[in-house]
Amino acid sequence: MLSVRELKKKFIGDRAFYARVLAITVPIMIQSGITNFVSLLDNIMVGRVGTEQMSGVAIVNQLFFVFYLCIFGGFAGAGIFTAQYYGCGDQDGIRHTFHYKLWMGVILYAAALIVFLGFGPELIGLYLNGSEDGGDLTAALHYASSYMRISLAGLPAFMLVQVYANTLRECGETVVPMKAGLVAVFVNLVFNYLLIYGKFGLPALGVNGAAIATVLSRFVELSIVVGWTHRHTERCPYIVGIYRTMRVPADLIRKYFITGAPLLLNEGLWSTGMAMLTQCYSLRGLNVVAGQNIASTITNVFNVVFFAMGDAVAIIVGQHLGAGHYKEAREDDNRIIAFSVGIATMVGLVIFVTSPLFPQLYNTTPEAKRIATHFLMTQAIFTPQMGFLHTSYFTIRSGGRTVITFLFDSVFMWAVSVPLAFVLSRYTTLYVIFIFAALQMAEWIKCAVGFVLVKKGVWMKNIVS
């Protein structure tokens, strides 16, 4: 049994350690935090137009969430190599991962376009279920379909931003993506106000205005990130001549794909699993769709803290592993996980205390507000376990153990969470919050598995030398 002094040494770092962690995480927190805060304001703006409009936009964003996570998963395998290439100073290696991300992004965007254009209304319809709580389902379908058609134009810009921004972050440059994100969310917020409500002589476009504002902000963010990267070749030497060829050596494609395929499959299956969970909740009616949308938008503002901690694990631990510093990798990983859980606990307390307040900002039904409050309170209770699970996942992933992360994440989702939600939503009359809480408690199994895997050190592996 470890003494208090040994526990402090193992889980609490010195000032230099926290300075390094915060140097990485704070810009990411600021960018993600402001992005999610503006998403909250965006959500409130649409929510003040009506429940059907807000629900329609929420459904489309849930479907787009699958594409976003497929992009993250498709790039993540190459990103592991990028961090380790940077750790050992291999600029050609970084170029190869950059090209791989571009090709992967084009393929995923083409697939998304086929799915959303070909089956958009049918996918939206899965979330629109009649119930005693009323709501105009036809209107919600109309608003969602219109929002989806316009928003599709912004997906290529989102994909390209991730290619550049992820590479910058993996090489330790987190401030530029943060600044680009700040400008983008400001543009999004301003044009949301102008186009949703029709200010200063512009037409009042409602949900279509929200979609146009989002597309504009995506391209603004893209222009800033791309422009800065190509102007600062001394800090980004890999970008010199980046488009002279798009060829990636076949042996590296295999290497990146073998490492990244489980992550792509993982993110794809996990995000579709989350979409399935939302669909299960939606069987309780349109008020549940609205309430869950309110709650998830609010919690996303707070959750940026431990999501940024996952990025810190990927960058700091990945660079240690690439340099062969295994002892430092384990020590820093333990401290980041402990730091993440501690901060997540404080975040949970804030969410719990403020949970009755935020839903009152929306122009929706009293029932939707009540459901949103209950979602927030329940989420707050389970926030510390989310902090642990997220950093555990990134720990295992940092050493290229992507098959294990696939089993840890998506297999659990489809073997446990989705069947449990399916049964409870269709064959019981449980209040939706009790279903949500049951799914959160099921993840205690993942916590135990994650603890064992991190402690055993199965993730400590150099994959670039």
- Domain assignments of the chain as residue spans, ordered by start: 4-456
Closest CA to 193 of 394, 76, 46, 26: 46
What tokens were used for 95?
């170029």
Closest CA to 165 of 14, 157, 205: 157
Predicted confidence at residue 40, as pLDDT, reads: 67
Rounded (5°) CA angle 29-256-263 = 50
Predicted confidence at residue 131, as pLDDT, reads: 55
What tokens were used for 341?
């859980």
What tokens were used for 450?
């994650």
Predicted confidence at residue 241, as pLDDT, reads: 87
CB 167: neighbour CB atoms within 10 A? 28
DSSP conformation letters of 226-248 = HHHHHH-TTT-GGGTTTTS----
Distance CA 315, CA 79 (A): 10
- Residue bearing tokens 């940026």: 304
Predicted confidence at residue 36, as pLDDT, reads: 66
Amino acid making up residue 352: F
DSSP conformation letters of 323-378 = TT-HHHHHHHHHHHHHHHHHHHHHHHHHHHHHTTTGGGGS-S-HHHHHHHHHHHHH
DSSP conformation letters of 437-459 = HHHHHHTHHHHHHHHHHHHHTTT
Cα dihedral 390/395/398/402 (nearest 10): -70
Predicted confidence at residue 13, as pLDDT, reads: 65
Cβ pair 395, 337 in contact under 8 A: yes
Predicted confidence at residue 7, as pLDDT, reads: 57
Closest CA to 317 of 161, 449, 463, 101: 463
Cβ pair 285, 135 in contact under 8 A: yes
Predicted confidence at residue 161, as pLDDT, reads: 93
Predicted confidence at residue 224, as pLDDT, reads: 96
DSSP 8-state symbol, 200: T
Sign for the pseudo-dihedral over CA of 47, 304, 152, 288? negative
Cα dihedral 384/385/390/391 (nearest 10): 70
Predicted confidence at residue 150, as pLDDT, reads: 94
Is the pTM higher than 0.85?
Answer: no
196: Cβ contacts below 8 Å, ≥ 6 apart? 45, 46, 49, 204, 205, 206, 207, 209, 210, 213
Closest CA to 60 of 132, 154, 133, 136: 154
Residue 365, classified by CB atoms within 10 Å of its CB into exposed (0-12), middle (13-18) or buried (19+), is middle
What tokens were used for 205?
């476009």
CB 122: neighbour CB atoms within 10 A? 8
Closest CA to 282 of 68, 56, 438: 56
- Residue bearing tokens 């290497």: 255
CB 28: neighbour CB atoms within 10 A? 24
Predicted confidence at residue 414, as pLDDT, reads: 92
DSSP conformation letters of 78-96 = HHHHHHHHHHTT-HHHHHH
Tens digit of each residue's pLDDT, the chain (465 residues): 556 566 566 667 667 778 878 887 787 777 667 666 666 666 677 777 777 887 788 888 878 888 888 888 888 878 888 877 887 778 888 898 999 999 999 999 999 999 999 998 899 888 887 555 556 778 888 888 999 999 999 999 999 999 999 899 888 787 888 889 889 888 988 998 899 988 988 888 888 998 999 899 999 999 999 999 999 998 888 898 888 888 888 888 888 888 777 777 877 888 888 888 988 998 888 888 888 888 988 887 787 787 788 778 877 887 778 777 888 888 888 888 888 888 889 989 999 999 999 888 887 788 889 999 999 999 999 999 988 988 888 888 777 777 787 787 788 999 999 999 999 999 999 999 999 999 999 999 989 988 888 888 877 777 665
